[in-house]
Structure 1
Amino acid sequence: MNGPAPSEANQSAQFDFLQLSGKTFLVLGVANKKSVAYAIAKTIELAGGRVIYSVRSESRRESTAKLLRDKDVRICDVEQQSEIDALADALAADGVMLDGLVHSIAFADYPEGIRPFHETTRKQFLQAIDISAYSLISLCNALKDRFQRDASVVTIGISTTRMASESYGFMAPIKAALESSLAFLTKSFSRFSRVRFNAVAAGLLKTSASAGIPGYVDSYLYAEQVIPRGEAVNTDEVAQTAVFLLSPRSSGITAQSLVVDAGMSINYFDASVVAAVTKAQLG
């Protein structure tokens, strides 16, 4: 006689496929429940891992208080080296060793909306690269003694840095710098550890941050027409890929950007899209 089917919790206990149970991860970048960082953190916790959250300010901690109730939330504005160092010192004082880090941070200032790329100001570009790309390097350097020897670091990139999308402003070159740094971090850390560095190169996502980019919504709707399945990538799909890269199951993957775009890049010349464009031109 067959007994009752095992619950999800029992199944997880019997076979922890991702091998995350009992491991500790630092997740930076939660702003609200639509954040990619939050989706990643939830997935880690469902897999049995522990998450330490880091938000950029006290006001952000207050705005996410309900969302992150009873969670371990630290403050770190990555534009301030002193706060990065303070975060590392606090984790050391608490005896925390990290099995992984999630860097889901990006910022670009568009005070006059999206302008032609050649009009990007020095201030805009340097601030964006500081927050969105250099912060990964600075965090990893500060936390190098907090990482377990075989820890995994995952950042969030974009599906292509070669597509000159006007709706994304000057962020593609910034993301290219972020993704290029993965190879150099992997190489330099290999001198004393086996820490891995990878990115999830995500297609267009519906997040609160992206909704604030001028013209982004139209590009998102276009992407849904180009994607073979007719549906854009969602944050859970990106989160699940990120958690796989954080896990020991991806131990042979490093210095890579794993594209999650639901096939958008293979379908730009879909017959229906081409027909719609040519019909509009002829009309």
Structure 2
Amino acid sequence: MSESSPAPTPIDFLGFSGKTFLVMGVANRKSVAWSIARLVEQSGGEVIYTVRSESRRDSTAKLLADRRVIVCDVEDQSQIDQLAETLASENIELAGLVHAIAFADYSEGMRPFHETTRRQFLQAMDISAFSLTAVCQALRDQFARDASVVTIGISTTRMASESYGFMAPIKAALESSLAFLTKSFSRFSEVRFNSVAAGLLKTSASAGIPGYVDSYLYAEKVIPRGRAVKTDEVAATAAFLLSPRSSGITAQSLIVDAGMSINYFDADVVGAVTDASVD
């Protein structure tokens, strides 16, 4: 009998070991941010978390037990500045940032887009889009030269989905900012900015959007494989974008929709609609 070969040495494929990442946006265990953070931790990285309020810190206390959690409401510039000062005082270098923050006020129900109020739109823009720029500016000196910033977008900003309300234009602004952040940061670093453009997900936040569940069920019918995108699939793509393995990718939105965008005219779906119209 020949001697067996020794077990291969594990490879840190994602290159996270010994590095620190900031993850913003964990609300519960269904959050995309939480799934991304778990992958980072499982791959040897250290994660610092930010949550929007003390009440959110309390509600995530069990989930984020024994982890560093900092309160940072991105609507308040002073809290963003304080976050940067705290990290700087501890000489923390960030290998990456996960920006998984979004908010839209649908408290009055889903209304036609032209009835969106100025307050609703500007608040959503501030929290969901501009906050990326504000946070990155504040943290610019804490980023490693080749750090990676990843935000969460949507699979298309051109689909006038009534169940998503006025958030698609907000996400379009977020996506556009990736190119401008990449360009401006290139003056002094190689920090990369990308997004994961996710299809419809089953999260606690999405469940609160009027009409979203029906759209989610429709997506499952349109997706070629017959089942919706999983949060873990989005997280895995985000982890890749955070890693040095994606060093040649910047200012991009990687679509993760399980092929939904190529299958809107699926025969079964078309048939169901035309049959219903005949009835």
Instruction: Judge same fold: TM > 0.5, yes or no.
Output: yes
SS in 1 for 2:22: strand
- Answering whether residue 197 of structure 2 is matched by residue 205 of structure 1, we say no
Counterpart Cα distance in 2 of 1:57 and 1:108: 17
The letter of the residue matching 1:42 is R
- Answering whether residue 95 of structure 2 is matched by residue 99 of structure 1, we say yes
Counterpart Cα distance in 2 of 1:273 and 1:99: 44
CA shift, 1:20, in A, is: 1.1
State the match for 1:30 in structure 2.
26
Query: Pairwise mapping of residues 106-125 of structure 1 onto structure 2 (< 5 A)?
Result: 106-125=102-121
Counterpart Cα distance in 2 of 1:4 and 1:70: 39
- Answering whether residue 50 of structure 2 is matched by residue 54 of structure 1, we say yes
| One of 253, 278, 282 as aligned partner of 2:274 | 278
State the match for 1:74 in structure 2.
70
Counterpart Cα distance in 1 of 2:141 and 2:185: 11
Query: Pairwise mapping of residues 189-228 of structure 1 onto structure 2 (< 5 A)?
Result: 189-228=185-224
SS in 2 for 1:110: coil
Counterpart Cα distance in 1 of 2:245 and 2:6: 26
SS in 2 for 1:54: strand
- Answering whether residue 123 of structure 2 is matched by residue 127 of structure 1, we say yes
State the match for 1:241 in structure 2.
237
Tell me how large the CA RMSD over aligned residues is: 1.2
CA shift, 1:111, in A, is: 1.9
The letter of the residue matching 2:110 is I
Counterpart Cα distance in 2 of 1:19 and 1:30: 23
CA shift, 1:95, in A, is: 1.1
SS in 2 for 1:14: coil
| TM-score computed with the length of structure 2 as normaliser | 0.98
CA shift, 1:77, in A, is: 0.2
CA shift, 1:3, in A, is: 5.7
CA shift, 1:112, in A, is: 1.5
CA deviations on 1:108-132 (whole Å, 9 max, x unpaired) are 0012211000000000000000000
| TM-score computed with the length of structure 1 as normaliser | 0.96
SS in 1 for 2:58: helix
State the match for 1:83 in structure 2.
79
Q: Quickly say closer, same or farther: Cα 1:16–1:173, change in 2 above 3 A.
A: same
Counterpart Cα distance in 2 of 1:16 and 1:264: 33
Question: Following TM superposition, where does structure 1 have runs of at least 4 consecutive aligned residues deviating by more than 6 angstroms?
Answer: none
Among the aligned pairs, what percent are the same residue? 76
Query: Pairwise mapping of residues 152-191 of structure 1 onto structure 2 (< 5 A)?
Result: 152-191=148-187
CA deviations on 1:81-101 (whole Å, 9 max, x unpaired) are 000000000001111000000
State the match for 2:254 in structure 1.
258
Counterpart Cα distance in 1 of 2:266 and 2:3: 51
The letter of the residue matching 2:235 is A
Ranges in structure 1 where 5+ consecutive residues have no aligned partner? none
Ranges in structure 2 where 5+ consecutive residues have no aligned partner? none
The letter of the residue matching 1:221 is L
Counterpart Cα distance in 2 of 1:47 and 1:14: 11
CA shift, 1:14, in A, is: 2.5
CA deviations on 1:133-188 (whole Å, 9 max, x unpaired) are 00000000000000000000000000000000000000000000000000000000
CA shift, 1:19, in A, is: 1.1
The letter of the residue matching 2:191 is V
